[in-house]
Amino acid sequence: MFETNATIELHHTDAAGAVFFADYFVIAHSAYERYMESIGFALDQILTSSAFRLPIVHAEADYRRPVSLGGQLSILLRVDPGNSAFTASYDFKDARGEVVAILKTVHVCVDKKTGEKRPLPQDLREAFLEITS
């Protein structure tokens, strides 16, 4: 499991002063970028130097309680790899440790040139499994 933190900034909030629902995905994606870098697969390097891409093909979220401007969140990220796809699960916890939102994204590995589904590179799959064990 990977853990990172975020502070709710004004641009994350809606007119009611709480995190705008879609901004949880923005925050989750930042956590995903940090995670991928931490396992040696920085997304900028994948985009410029790899023969594959990892687009999101499904996303879902459950919201449990509002978080306001200045709120501190801890994001716990778990990755469950399959043959050619993986699910990233995000638990957002507030400063009291209570879960305020749960998100999931499903990424599929595709060939950079053809856009066709392909198996995850073995070294990436192993990196996913190493951090989850």
Residues annotated as catalytic are 14
Token readout for 125 is 């799959």
CB 1 within 8 A of CB 53: no
Other CB atoms within a 10 A radius of the CB of residue 90 amount to 23
- CA 76 – CA 31 distance, rounded (Å): 9
How far apart are the C-alpha atoms of 21 and 1, rounded to whole Å? 24
CA dihedral of residues 124, 126, 131, 133 (deg, nearest 10): 150
